[in-house]
Amino acid sequence: MDRTGKYFPLGNHTKLVEFILIGFSDVPSLQGLLFGVFLIIYIFILMGNSLIIMITKVDPSLQTPMYFFLGNLSFLEICYVSDTLPRLLADLCRQNRKISFLACAVQLYFFLVLGATECFILTVMAYDRYVAICNPLMYPVIMNSRLCVQLAASCWTTAILIHIGSTSVVFSSPFCERNEMNHFFCDVPPIVQLVCGDTFIIEMLTFVIAALVVTIPFLLILGSYVKIITNILKLPSATGRAKAFSTCSSHVIVVTLFFGSAIIVYLRPKSTHSKGMDKYFSLLYCILIPVFNPIIYCLRNKDIMVALEKFLQKWIVLRFIHSKNSSHS
C-alpha cells in the first residue's frame, strides 16, 4: 500500500481499496437543498410503500394474487432506495465521500439484484393480469397461493444467481490509479470507466445480462398486454371494458416508467453516454419511480383507496379509545 492508502501497485495496474463518489459535489451551492429534497423523498417512499404492504396484509378484500405481488413490489422499492439513498444523504453532509472496494461491490450487487427482481416481478404481475382477464373462470385455480409464492421466490432466486457472476467479473478486473467515480452510487457504467485495458468482455456481459433482465421481460409484458387488450376489446359492455382497463392501467404506467428509464441508461449506445449525465438519468429509476409507484397504485386503484380509508378510520378510532383510557387512568 502506498502512503495515501488508496491502492497497491501491481505492475501497470493497481489494486484499489476504495473509490471516491463525486456525487453532486460539483454543485456545492445546492448540497443543502438536495439533502432536504432527497430526505423528504426517502421518507415518503418508506411511508408510502410500507402503507401499501400493511394494507395488503391486513385487509381481507386485498388477499388476492394481484395485491400479493404489489406487496412484493413495494417491499422491493423500499430495499431498492435503501441501497443508494442513505449513502447519498450521508455524502451530501460530509467532505469525505470515500467508499471501500468491498462496500462498493456489495452496493452494486444488491442494486443489480433488486433491479432485476423488480423486472421479473413486473413481468409476473402482467401474467397475473393476463390470466385474470383472458381466462377469468380458471383464474382462482391457476393463480393459487402456492403458485404465487413460487413465482415470487423464483424472481428473487433468479436475480440473485444471475448477478453473482456479473458482479464478480466487474470487480475482478484491473483498475487504473484513478478512483474517482462521477456518480452518487456504485453502478456498472461508472465503474467500468475506471477499468484499465480492454473492457469489451465486461461491456458485452453487461449488455447481454441487461438484455436478458430488461428486454425479455419487457417483451413478455408487451405480449401479455397485446392479448389483454385484444380480449378487452371483445367485451360487449363498455362498463366491462372500462373496468378491465382500469385494473391494468396502474401496472402499465409503472412498467413504462421503469423499463423506459432502464433502457435509456443500460441499453443506449455507448457513444451517447456522458459522464456527467449518467448520474442524472439514474435519478429516474433510483428515486423518482419509487416515489411514483405508491402514488400511481393508490390514486388509480379504488380497492386500495377504500382499504386505506377503512384502515385510517380504524386507526383513528383505536387512537381515540387509547387516549380516552389513558385520560381515565
User: Among residues of the chain, what percentage have pLDDT more than 90?
Assistant: 34
Return the exposure string of 75-94: e unless at least 16 CB atoms fall within 10 Å of the residue's CB, then b.
Answer: bbbbebbbbbbebbeebbee
pLDDT value of residue 267: 63
pLDDT value at 4 more than 70: no
Q: Helix, strand, coil shares of the chain as percentages rounded to 5?
A: 75, 5, 20
**Cβ–Cβ under 8 Å, residues 167 and 105:** yes
What domains, with CATH codes, occur in the chain?
7-323 (1.20.1070.10)
Give the pLDDT confidence of 137-192 residue by residue, as tens digits: 999 999 999 999 999 999 999 999 999 988 988 888 888 878 888 889 998 888 88
Give the pLDDT confidence of 86-122 residue by residue, as tens digits: 999 999 988 778 899 999 999 999 999 999 999 999 9
**Cβ–Cβ under 8 Å, residues 244 and 264:** no
pLDDT value at 303 more than 50: yes
**Cβ–Cβ under 8 Å, residues 188 and 206:** yes
Return the exposure string of 167-205: e unless at least 16 CB atoms fall within 10 Å of the residue's CB, then b.
Answer: beebbebebeeebebbbbbbbbbbbbbbbeeebeebeee
Name residue, grid cell 447519498: 88
